[in-house]
Amino acid sequence: MSVVITVAQQKGGAGKTTLAANLAAALAEHARVAVLDIDPQRSLARWHGLRAGQKGVPLIALSDLSGWRLAAEIDRMRRAHDVLIVDSPPHVESDAQAAIRAADLVLVPVQPSPPDLWATEGTLKLARDEKRPFRLVLNRAPASGSLRAAVEAEIARQDLPRLEAVLGNRVGFAGAFAKGLGVTETSPRSVAAAELRAVLAEIMGAIR
């Protein structure tokens, strides 16, 4: 089964690219994985370039085509791989729309703060308009606290679908990214790796 996962969020700093990279690295252990970087910052492509210098890690294919060729590129990549992860641009324009339209699941990382939750509105509207399933992913979250509780309560009040698994505010994610790796590769027995695997298990369950 070929799967397209689009990671989308309008607000910068939500951890969109780090999430995409860590998911790709974890999936590459047992699947043919590709990443498509259509964020103008091209951070995922730079991560991929760092990964190319590492020895003994699974290969991950990369494309950064966008614009009028994007839809055809998504089709080509999904035919050639088991999983395609798309790092979408931080706006709801044509490229983001095409990436969401092609997705089997749209992941929306949200830090536990009201502005981050508010910033999801455009992305969620686009996913609904395109009739694509989506899940919020609580990211860079403290273990507890009133702000996290308030955001979780608001997500529940709005009846927004979210993953139960949560990614904590852990340096392991950024540290792995800086090496072109995933946290499951640099620290496979860490709490961060366990959190990532729990998120991945829910994602695959939502797609099946």
Neighbours of 178 (CB within 10 A): 12
Say whether pLDDT at 12 is over 90. no
Helix (H, G, I), strand (E, B) or coil at 91: coil
Continuous segment of H or E residues that includes residue 57? none
Q: b vs e for 43-73, b when ≥16 Cβ sit within 10 Å of the residue's Cβ?
A: bbbebbeebeeeeebbebbbbeebeeebeeb
**175 token code pair:** 């540290």
Q: What is the pLDDT of residue 14?
A: 85
CATH of residue 72? 3.40.50.300
Asked whether the beta carbons of 193 and 183 are under 8 A apart, the reply is yes
Structure tokens at 31: 């699947």
Share above pLDDT 90 across residues of the chain, in percent, rounded to a whole number: 88
Tell me: pLDDT of 173 over 80.
yes
Check if the beta carbon of residue 87 is closer than 8 Å to that of residue 37.
yes
Give me the domain span that covers residue 8.
3-207
Q: What is the number of domains present in the chain?
A: 1
Per-residue confidence band for 42, with pLDDT thresholds at 50, 70 and 90? very high
Give residue 1's pLDDT: 59
Counts of helices then strands in the chain (DSSP H, E): 10, 6
Residue 198 pLDDT: 98
**Cα(197)–Cα(195) distance, rounded to whole angstroms?**
5
Mean local confidence (pLDDT), 76-84: 97
Q: Please report, for residues 10, 23, 24, the alpha-carbon distance to residue 152 in angstroms, rounded to integers and kept in the order given.
A: 19, 23, 27
Alpha helices in 13-120 (DSSP H): 16-27, 43-51, 70-80, 94-101, 114-118
Confidence category of residue 150, pLDDT binned at 50, 70, 90: very high
Q: Is the pLDDT of residue 80 over 90?
A: yes
**Sequence-distant (≥ 6) Cβ neighbours of residue 181 within 8 angstroms:** 25, 51, 54, 57
pLDDT tens track for 104-144: 999 999 999 999 999 999 999 999 999 999 999 999 998 87
* 14 touches 110 (CB < 8 A): yes
Cβ–Cβ under 8 Å, residues 20 and 35: yes
DSSP state of 141: B
Q: pLDDT at residue 196 above 90?
A: yes
**Residue 13: what pLDDT?**
80
